[in-house]
């Protein structure tokens, strides 16, 4: 854990120095402003951490993690979708409205799982996760999204009146604990008003036999086989640069 934490801090500190503004990833919109109590909230994000340090490659390929995922997913053919990290700083760490990750990268068979590694002891006070248990069984819900006109980035969430963050169940976790959940599970997270930061590392994985229903959310190492095989992967010269599998 200390090796992961040190590599994570070193990466964020270096990228802060290079381009702090470029790491901003907090959501926009009136619903966000409202749950953030109209303070000037922020969250810093870096994607594809395995492209920055081998420590993260070792995390995503760790045999104990893959043993657990194989049990949960009921397949040994597991591929990477993407990784990212969020740092919610003390006193102004951004909340997240309740959402399903599905809306960001929809797939046909809904095998996608979020593997949420906590790098700090986490409670609602420092911006921890909150979930609606069992909500993954509801299937994809209506998307209440907003698009940033400047960047074109879209933010997706569900009806904040029907599924408020305040009625969700808090998830408490110790540093080093991993929470695994379906990309259909309604989840969000609290504002960090405490004096502690909240760091996390997120890995999204899917079964090899699943496939995207929209051509969105491409990222480095997508499709990397973490365990087992991917029999859907193209092998012709003509398709050697494709990121999509053949189904
Ligand atoms: O960083 C967080 O607390 C939540 C992030 C999240 O829900 C997501 O990226 O889908």
Grouped pLDDT means (10 residues each) for the chain, 247 residues: 97 95 92 94 97 98 98 98 98 97 98 98 97 98 92 93 97 98 98 97 98 94 97 90 82
Asked if residue 150 is part of any domain, the answer here is yes
Residue 9 belongs to what domain range? 1-236
Please tell me the distance between residue 188's alpha carbon and the centre of ligand 1 in angstroms. Answer: 6
Look at the pTM and tell me if it is higher than 0.85.
yes
Asked if residue 109 is part of any domain, the answer here is yes
Residue 179 CA to residue 165 CA, distance in Å, equals: 18
Asked if residue 242 is part of any domain, the answer here is no
Asked if residue 243 is part of any domain, the answer here is no
Looking at the structure of the chain, the number of domains it has is: 1
Of 186, 199, 202, 219, best ligand 1 pocket probe by most atoms within 8 Å of the beta carbon: 202
Q: Which residues contact 154 (CB under 8 A, 6 or more apart)?
A: 145, 146, 147, 148
| 8 A C-beta contact, residue 205 and residue 61 | no
CA nearest ligand 1 atom 6, residue: 188
> Is the CB–ligand 1 distance for residue 199 below 6 Å?
no
> Is the CB–ligand 1 distance for residue 187 below 6 Å?
yes
Q: What pLDDT does residue 136 have? A: 98
Asked if residue 183 is part of any domain, the answer here is yes
Asked if residue 69 is part of any domain, the answer here is yes
> Is the CB–ligand 1 distance for residue 112 below 6 Å?
no
Please tell me the distance between residue 235's alpha carbon and the centre of ligand 1 in angstroms. Answer: 35
Q: What pLDDT does residue 109 have? A: 98
Read off the CATH number of the domain in which 87 is found. Answer: 2.60.120.620
> Is the CB–ligand 1 distance for residue 96 below 6 Å?
yes
Asked if residue 247 is part of any domain, the answer here is no
CA nearest ligand 1 atom 1, residue: 86
> Is the CB–ligand 1 distance for residue 86 below 6 Å?
yes
Asked if residue 241 is part of any domain, the answer here is no
Q: What pLDDT does residue 244 have? A: 79
């Amino acid at each position: 854990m200390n090796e992961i934490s040190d590599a994570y801090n070193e990466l964020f500190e270096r990228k802060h120095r290079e381009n702090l503004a470029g790491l901003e990833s907090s959501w926009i919109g009136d619903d966000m402003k409202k749950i953030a109590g109209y303070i000037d909230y922020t969250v810093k994000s870096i994607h594809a951490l395995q492209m920055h340090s081998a420590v993260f490659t070792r995390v995503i390929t760790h045999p104990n993690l893959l043993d657990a995922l194989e049990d949960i997913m009921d397949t040994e053919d597991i591929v990477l979708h993407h990784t990212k990290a969020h740092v919610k700083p003390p006193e102004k760490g951004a909340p997240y409205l309740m959402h399903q990750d599905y809306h960001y990268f929809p797939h046909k068979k809904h095998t996608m799982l979020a593997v949420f590694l906590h790098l700090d002891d986490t409670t609602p006070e420092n911006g921890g996760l909150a979930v609606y248990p069992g909500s993954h069984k509801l299937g994809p819900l209506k998307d209440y999204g907003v698009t940033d006109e400047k960047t074109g980035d879209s933010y997706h969430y569900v009806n904040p009146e029907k599924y408020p963050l305040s009625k969700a169940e808090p998830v408490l976790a110790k540093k080093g604990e991993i929470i695994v959940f379906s990309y259909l599970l309604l989840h969000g997270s609290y504002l960090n008003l405490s004096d502690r930061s909240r760091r996390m590392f997120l890995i999204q994985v899917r079964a090899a036999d699943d496939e995207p229903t929209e051509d969105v959310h491409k990222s480095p190492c997508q499709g990397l086989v973490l365990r087992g095989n991917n029999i859907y992967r193209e092998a012709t010269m003509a398709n050697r640069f494709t990121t999509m599998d053949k189904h």
